[in-house]
Structure 1
Amino acid sequence: MARDGSVVKKKTQSFGSWIALDSNGHWSQIDVDKYAIMHRVQINAHDLRILDPLLSYPYVILGREKAIILNLEHIKVIITADEVSYLFFQCVNMLIDDGE
């Protein structure tokens, strides 16, 4: 609570734009914070931290109860039974490079 009595809402940090590809082949772009993506794919904060592009983690493939988490340099993916989600900004450069 702020000094003037108003409620201060803590700003959540966006984890970036994700591309979500469902089992029917339909994709959608979602802009979510880290808590929303943790809830969406049911992983914990430590597993999500491995995908953070600002942190330096080696190549990682993690198997969890409800997800597979891949961090392979420029490819950062979460695979669940329902969808495949990957960080959008990592893929933009690859798409542009392939188009030339």
Structure 2
Amino acid sequence: MMDPTNPYTVGYYDTYPGPHNARPARGNSVYTWGVYQGAWGVDVRNADGLIVISDGVTGFWLVKMDGFEGWDGNDWGVPNNSSAQDWENGPDGVQRRIS
């Protein structure tokens, strides 16, 4: 985000094709109930910008967004961490074996 005071949407992707929270209310309650449907975990692999999405119903998704080639937290003064690791190179600061 270039300007935290002026956020804007550049894209979105809904991983669940069905209706969300579509179960009827119980008893006299006006509130519906149901299992959460849709994406419940999102991360970005910093090295190449691969977006990793976990969905409890439809599974595991890998998404690339045109024009987004990766992210480096060091450019913004924060750690360059991601749970979607760059397995070829490892995380920042790793000692690599030379074969």
**Does TM, normalized by the shorter one, top 0.5?**
no
Q: State the TM-score, normalized to the length of structure 1.
A: 0.30
Q: State the TM-score, normalized to the length of structure 2.
A: 0.30
Hey, which of these two has a bigger chunk of helix by percent?
Answer: 1
Q: Which has the higher contact order (CA 8 A, sep 6+)?
A: 1
